[in-house]
Amino acid sequence: MADLGNFTNTSEILRKYQFRMQKKYGQNFLIDANILAKIVEAARITEEDCVLEIGPGIGTMTQYLAEAAGQVIAVEIDRGLIPILEETLSPYDNVTVLCEDILKVDLAALAEKSGGRSIKVVANLPYYITTPIIMALFESRMPLASITVMVQSEVAERMQTGPGSKEYGALSLAVQYYAKPETVAKVPASCFLPRPNVDSTVVRLTRYEKPPVEAADEAFLFAVIRASFNQRRKTLVNGLANAGGLSVTRGQVETVLEEMGLLPTVRGETFTLERFTELSNRLLRLRK
């Protein structure tokens, strides 16, 4: 089977099946063998691993993963790509392709297919759905070791930035709660077919065995974080007091901030993960 990591072979297979790109799925196929090899290396794939690939497309990355891993489970939402995948992955008996929406898949049940192995996720994610997928993976019960993901460079920066940056937000805090984020490679738009309007970055998220902070209620912590960034220009007091579902009053928020030695005019974008954890733990005690 021809290596799909180049323009010629990718174009040929797309022409053969008269495949039309689906804009709603953000389809851009990687055509650079060096980047493909670098992603597999960065994901630290071995023969002992089960890899979950999200959005295999025509099977370009899947071929590389199948050569390195013991098992690959590829989840593709576009039915039009399934016949192509049947051809491009035919040499590999360690690959299972599921035509599903990853956000609707029972990830815990999917993990059972791994035969007890820890799971390493590899994905090329479109911008519009990056956050929901990453959060679903982290919040699932699957034995997740790492996520090596190619995303828009702006999103990669958001995952790794800290307080004070305009990119800092709920995604930054969620990623840094669950995992250690590291940039693996910069990928220019020219490495894709069709060429996107933005450059991409490959990020490896290595999951912590234990989060770096101790949240009394993880779900409440993230609800506080989301409410703090929903309207960035609002003070933290206004953001939390007006948030539906938190069930905290303005007075309670002001009391907790005073206990923490902070002014009521403080904004959430200045808070570290540790400070958000302290805030949510204190608010939780007041609610009880």
Whole-model pTM?
Answer: 0.91
Q: In what order do the strands lie in the sheet with 95-99?
A: 95-99, 71-76, 50-54, 119-124, 144-152, 200-207, 179-187
pLDDT at 39 over 80: yes
Pick the more confident residue, 21 or 281: 281
pLDDT at 20 over 90: no
Predicted local confidence at residue 108, as pLDDT? 85
Cα–Cα distance between 69 and 47 in angstroms, integer?
A: 4
Q: Does 218-287 match 7-207 at the fold level?
A: no
Q: What is the mean pLDDT of the chain?
A: 92
Nearest CA to 28 out of 202, 184, 183, 198 is that of 198
For 21-32, what is each residue's pLDDT tens digit? 877 778 889 999
For 42-64, what is each residue's pLDDT tens digit? 999 999 999 999 999 999 999 99
Q: At what angle do helices 273-287 and 218-230 cross, to 10 degrees?
A: 110
For the chain, the structural domain boundaries read: 7-207, 218-287
Predicted local confidence at residue 71, as pLDDT? 95
Phi, psi of 74 (to 5 degrees): -110, 125
Fold (topology level) of 218-287: Helicase, Ruva Protein; domain 3 (1.10.8)
Average pLDDT over residues 131-143: 89
pLDDT at 184 over 70: yes
Tell me the pairing of strands 192-193 and 29-30: antiparallel
Tell me the Ramachandran region of residue 116: left when phi exceeds 0, alpha when psi lies from -120 to 50, beta otherwise.
left
Average pLDDT over residues 233-262: 91
Average pLDDT over residues 63-76: 96
How large is the greatest C-alpha to C-alpha distance in the chain, in angstroms?
67
pLDDT range class, residue 1, cuts 50, 70, 90: low
pLDDT at 189 over 70: yes
Q: How many CA atoms lie within 13 A of 77 on its CB side?
A: 17
**CATH superfamily, region 7-207:** Vaccinia Virus protein VP39 (3.40.50.150)
pLDDT range class, residue 288, cuts 50, 70, 90: low
Cα–Cα distance between 193 and 63 in angstroms, integer?
A: 17
CA distance between the termini of the chain: 62
pLDDT at 112 over 90: no
Predicted local confidence at residue 110, as pLDDT? 87
Percentage of the chain modeled with pLDDT above 70: 99
Q: Please state, in angstroms and as integers, the Cα–Cα distance from residue 218 to each residue in 160, 231, 280, following that order.
A: 20, 22, 9
Give the H/E segment covering residue 274. helix 273-287
Cα–Cα distance between 226 and 135 in angstroms, integer?
A: 13
Q: How many CB atoms lie within 10 A of CB 52?
A: 27
